[in-house]
Amino acid sequence: MQRFGDDGLLKVIMPESSKTRPRIKFILLSLAFIFFIIGLSNPQIGSKLQEMKRKGVEIIIALDVSNSMMAEDIKPNRLERAKRTVSQLIDKLHGDKVGLIVFAGKAYVQMPTTTDYRAAKMFLSSISTGIVPVQGTAIGEAIELGTHSFTKDNDKNKVLLVITDGENHEEGAVELAKEATQEGIYTYTIGMGLPQGTPIPVYDRYGRKDYRRDKSGEIVMTKLNETTLQQIASAGEGEYIPATQLDNLMDDIQKMDKQEFESKIYSDYEDRFQYFFGIALFFLLLEMIILNRKNKYLKNVNLFEHKIS
């Protein structure tokens, strides 16, 4: 505008022209843009830690991960079927605590007891036969570790669920299950596999299939040992359950008295983007209302002008 002429002359020629209004409109548009960007980042609040009381049964699942669990007498194999069985069991839990133990020649705690079922499924999905370096089937050690893995202040309504094909390579499992009952622990067993026996497949890196053999070159056969699992369940005041009859286990668990315990969880985050979008829209509407030139009705109003008589 300064190229057209003198500033004083322009005021006479263009009395409705305004220098401040375009600047104000630019500032309002910039503020609207900034608040839109903040809104798009979706600010959230509500990450405080809160305590919730729950009632349920404490369950520890001891899962056999020995090489015999790779047998394919039940599809796709014993271990994968066992993991699906555990996943189905977790889906049916409501307010109960669940923990995971893996065992072969040794037993290890895979996940302490928790009410976070999503975490339980995440740990479950990572289980494989290579997770325990020592091979074998130490059911007794798994029962002993499970006995010491329950919450200390809980003296009843505890379930130890042993999922295996029953090929126990160590003695003492029945006695340990009986001792566990003195601490209020009921031991249930779930048998994976068929009693007829089947070889254990081995795949090379090219996907070619062979079978596991002993030192003499004979193919190793593995079969479900229901007798051992029935003895363990009987000594542990539980029940032996075939993998296809999981509903029977859930019925027994639901009949137990629920133990009250507290669990700490994070509360859900609450979105706050709508407030920033609202402020941005306000600035946009304000920018649209303000014109680039002076209002013809208000241009002559000057509240601070002092006339000398």
| pLDDT tens per residue, range 25-36 | 899 999 999 999
- How far is residue 288's CA from residue 269's CA, in Å, rounded to a whole number? 35
304 — pLDDT class (breaks 50, 70, 90): very low
**What pLDDT score was predicted for residue 249?**
74
> Strand 49-56 to strand 259-266: parallel, antiparallel, or no bridges (unpaired)?
antiparallel
Q: Where are the domains of the chain?
A: 52-264
- How far is residue 131's CA from residue 129's CA, in Å, rounded to a whole number? 6
Q: Are 101 and 142 in contact (CB under 8 A)?
A: yes
SS (H, E, C) 146-190: HHCCCCCCCCCCEEEEEEECCCCCCCCHHHHHHHHHHHCEEEEEE
Write the pLDDT tens digit of every residue in 75-91.
899 999 999 989 988 99
Q: Is the pLDDT of residue 52 over 60?
A: yes
Pick the CATH number of 52-264 from 3.40.50.410, 3.10.20.30, 3.30.9.10, 3.40.50.740: 3.40.50.410
Strands annotated E in the chain = 44-45, 49-56, 58-64, 97-103, 107-114, 158-164, 185-191, 198-199, 201-203, 209-211, 221-222, 240-242, 259-266, 270-271
Q: Chain centroid to CA 171: how far?
A: 37
Tell which residue, 59, 74, 35, 92, has the closest CA to residue 277.
Answer: 35
Over residues 140-147, the mean pLDDT reads: 95
Q: Is the pLDDT of residue 255 over 80?
A: no
